[in-house]
């Protein structure tokens, strides 16, 4: 046992001697926040994304690699609104890093800076996978990035005051370019306004709110619940009364339910990237919305 203790101490000392890198260490819970941090911090930060667009951010394992990354992070950038409730608390606790605990400057929740939709009036697990703070999929409305970018940039400057001027310049450039892009996207997406759609999971209220599409029904009877055959046939019946133009789902979701209903209702099934990296076109934040709108418009044809 003494031998082991000696080895452990040696490892500890060796690890302590590793020099900390100069760049701001950012741990992003979802790829869209990693991309936004990249826009705002450029080479002043080293950014790690805990999930990719093909993973459901509700269900992620508190993997050892995530704990190790959080250990040295100076800033975690997450959606909040309980989206990461199933894994982030364990990671923050086990990381032994109090700088990124909730409430600290190193803990950034994007959902705090936008108006939340679908805030439940009835909080009961019988309603399925509902979030007390509202629907957490805020990243599907491009307009939400402006207030979030502003708050995130201010947070970057607070944590890294030496580069505050740099972050301000980046924010200005991003806000201008993003505002121009929003105008462009809204023009492109004009034909989508008022179009009835079907969704696989209620992950698109912000997108609908922005582009004016009308969600007629969801393929999940309750958020996060698998549909039964009886429920699906009920949806098919509903679609005969209220026809929709397409069924949409996020890239990480099982394609089967969408494909099933698309075949029966003779509508296109559209998979949206949902986050950066969710499709070949969604290489960055601009690509995410270019591709999302292109796919939706293709669904109309």
Partner 1 sequence: MFKYTALCVALFAPLCAHAANDEDLRAIRDEIQQLKDSYEQRIAQLEQRLQQAESDSKATPASTTAQQPGRATASGESAFNPAVSLILSGTYGEFQRDPAIPATGFTMLAHTPPEQGFNLGESELGISASIDPQFRGVATFALDPAGGIGVENAFVQTTALGSGLNFKFGRYFSGLGYLNEQHAHAWDFVDQPLVYRTFWDNQLGEDGVQLRWLAPTDTFMELGAELGRGRGFPGSDRQKNGAGSGVLFAHAGDDIGASNSWRAGISLHETRRENAQADGVPDLNGNGVSNRFSGDSRTAGLDFVWKYAPGGNTANTSFKLQGEYFRRKESGSLTYDTAGANITDSYAVTQSGWYLQGVYQFMSRWRAGLRYDRLDSGTAQVGALNAANIISSYGYTPTRSTVMLDYSPSEFSRLRMQFAQDKSRQELTDNQLFLQYVMSLGAHGAHQF
Shortest approach of partner 1 to residue 230 CB, angstroms? Answer: 15
Minimum CB distance to partner 1 smaller for 147 or for 268: 147
Minimum CB distance to partner 1 smaller for 72 or for 143: 72
Element (H, E) at 109: strand 107-109
Residues that bind partner 1 in the complex, under the rule CB under 8 A? 1, 4-5, 8, 11-12, 15-16, 18, 20, 51-52, 54-56, 59-65, 67-69, 71-72, 80-81, 85-90, 93-99, 101, 109, 111-116, 125, 128-129, 133-134, 224-226, 252-254
Minimum CB distance to partner 1 smaller for 62 or for 164: 62
Inter-axis angle of helices 164-188 and 285-300, nearest 10 = 10
Nearest to 91 by CA among 60, 70, 110: 70
SS3 287: helix
Shortest approach of partner 1 to residue 120 CB, angstroms? Answer: 13
Do 204 and 271 meet the contact criterion of CB atoms below 8 Å apart? no
Shortest approach of partner 1 to residue 291 CB, angstroms? Answer: 19
Minimum CB distance to partner 1 smaller for 135 or for 163: 135
Shortest approach of partner 1 to residue 231 CB, angstroms? Answer: 14
Q: Which residues of 254-280 are buried (b: 16+ CB within 10 A; e: fewer)?
A: eeebbebbbeebebbbbbbbbbbbbbe
Minimum CB distance to partner 1 smaller for 99 or for 186: 99
Separation CA 197–CA 184 (nearest Å): 22
Do 110 and 155 meet the contact criterion of CB atoms below 8 Å apart? no
Shortest approach of partner 1 to residue 107 CB, angstroms? Answer: 13
């Amino acid at each position: 046992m003494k031998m082991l203790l000696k080895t452990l101490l040696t490892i500890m000392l060796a690890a302590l001697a590793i020099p900390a890198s100069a760049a701001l260490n950012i741990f992003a819970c979802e790829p869209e926040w990693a991309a936004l941090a990249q826009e705002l911090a450029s080479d002043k930060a080293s950014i790690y994304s805990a999930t990719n667009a093909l993973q459901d951010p509700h269900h992620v394992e508190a993997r050892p690699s995530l704990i190790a990354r959080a250990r040295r992070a100076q800033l975690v950038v997450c959606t909040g609104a309980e989206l990461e409730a199933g894994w982030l608390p364990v990671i923050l606790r086990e990381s032994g890093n109090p700088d990124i605990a909730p409430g600290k400057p190193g803990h950034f929740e994007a959902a705090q800076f936008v108006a939340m939709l679908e805030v439940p009036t009835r909080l009961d697990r019988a309603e399925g996978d509902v979030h007390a703070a509202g629907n957490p999929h805020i990243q599907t409305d491009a307009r939400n990035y402006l207030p979030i970018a502003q708050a995130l940039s201010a947070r970057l400057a607070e944590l890294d005051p030496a580069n505050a001027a740099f972050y301000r310049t980046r924010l200005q450039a991003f806000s201008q370019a993003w505002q121009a892009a929003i105008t462009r996207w809204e023009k492109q997406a004009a034909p989508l306004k008022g179009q009835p759609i079907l969704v696989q999971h209620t992950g698109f209220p912000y997108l609908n709110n922005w582009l004016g599409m009308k969600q007629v029904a969801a393929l999940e009877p309750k958020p996060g619940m698998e549909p039964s055959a009886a429920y699906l046939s009920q949806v098919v019946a509903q679609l005969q009364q209220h026809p929709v133009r397409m069924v949409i789902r996020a890239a990480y979701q099982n394609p089967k339910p969408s494909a099933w209903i698309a075949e029966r209702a003779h509508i296109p099934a559209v998979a949206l990237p949902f986050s950066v990296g969710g499709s070949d076109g969604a290489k960055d934040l601009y690509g995410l919305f270019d591709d999302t709108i292109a796919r939706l418009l293709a669904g109309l044809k």
